[in-house]
Amino acid sequence: MPQVRIFYTRLRKEEKLLAEAAEREGIPYSLEDAREMHFGATTGLSDDVILCRCISHSQNVALAHFFEGMGHRAVNPASVMERCGDKLATSMALEKAGIPQPAFRFAISPEAALSAAEELGYPVVFKPLTGSWGRLLAKANDKDAAEAIVEHKFNMGPQHQVFYVQEYIEKHGYDVRAFIVGGEPIAAIRRLSDHWITNTARGAKAVAEPVEGELERILRRVHAAIGGDILAVDVFPTDDRGWLINEVNDGAEFRNSIEPTGVDIPGEIMHFCWKLCCGLSGELALARG
């Protein structure tokens, strides 16, 4: 019997909600603490689906690579995780597809990073290439602030010596977090905050945002450009440029989005994973004759 195997490193509310949804819908599943396991070569394909829900993005990527190598289907695929986990890679995928996003520059020296900030025009936002929950974002309102940020980043180690600089977008107190499951935009919240960083993990208030019109269309374009099974897309509203895609996440939290939207997000995720299981089971049965 195929099942959805949920790997985690900390049993957060999201993983509990996924398990509850599986129980409710009669979907075979397992909750597995990846910290207590080691992994080695196995033989044969499997029709289990691997849902990677570790806290660490790099651990999720490693799990996905391993299980894909063993013939399993990982959600999301490792290639999509890697694309979403690197802000520059995400931006280039959006750029190639002609999807509107804030202007950005990248540089590999402090001098070039400061030149990029000057070219974009202050204020600008310095972002690490990897990271979540709004950590290590820095807004520079002028050259003095930019010089201090660049010096600190450059001396934090090699992983901070690639500079990603983005134009600052005035969001009028909110942005939008939208969820795409199986290629379908299923829900979105408007994240309200007086702070320029609007993550709900940092106290932003969530209210429902209708997924319709231009927002729905741009989300479908994002999925076509990025791929993947489960995406959380951060979108900026603008007065004169429409919706701008800020970031695309592959393993976002969703606990604060269920009540305001009325959408059973964990149920949608588990249903999608189970459909993959059933599809793989049929394909493997045919292959095995």
Give start and end residues of each alpha helix (H) in the chain.
13-25, 57-69, 78-84, 87-96, 110-120, 143-154, 213-226, 255-261, 265-288
- Mind listing the pLDDT tens digit for each residue in 90-105? 999 999 999 999 999 9
Residue 161: its pLDDT value, please?
Answer: 86
- Mean of the pLDDT values across residues 115-142? 88
Check whether 39 has a pLDDT greater than 70: yes
Using pLDDT thresholds of 50, 70 and 90, give the confidence band for residue 275.
Answer: very high
Percentage of residues in the chain with pLDDT exceeding 90?
A: 76
| Structural domains in the chain plus CATH codes | 4-83+268-288 (3.40.50.20), 103-167 (3.30.1490.20), 171-263 (3.30.470.20)
What is the spatial distance between Cα 117 and Cα 114, in angstroms, rounded to a whole number? 5
Check whether 78 has a pLDDT greater than 70: yes
- For the whole model, what pTM was predicted? 0.90
Sequence-separated contacts (24+) of 80-84 with Cβ below 8 Å = 80/226, 80/227, 80/228, 80/229, 80/250, 81/52, 81/57, 81/250, 81/251, 83/226, 83/227, 84/226, 84/228, 84/231, 84/248, 84/249, 84/250
Burial 152-161 (b: 16+ CB within 10 A, else e): ebeeeeeebe
Check whether 51 has a pLDDT greater than 80: yes
Residue 123: is the preceding peptide bond cis (ω within 30°)?
A: yes
Check whether 145 has a pLDDT greater than 60: yes
| Cβ 6 vs Cβ 18: under 8 Å | yes
Residue 225: its pLDDT value, please?
Answer: 98
Check whether 196 has a pLDDT greater than 80: no
Alpha-carbon distances of 112 from 123, 150, 155, 161, 267, rounded to whole Å: 17, 10, 16, 11, 47
- Mean of the pLDDT values across residues 49-57? 95
Check whether 257 has a pLDDT greater than 90: yes
Check whether 282 has a pLDDT greater than 50: no
Check whether 234 has a pLDDT greater than 70: yes
- Mean of the pLDDT values across residues 151-171? 88
Please name the residues in contact with 58: beta carbons below 8 A apart, sequence gap of 6 or more: 85
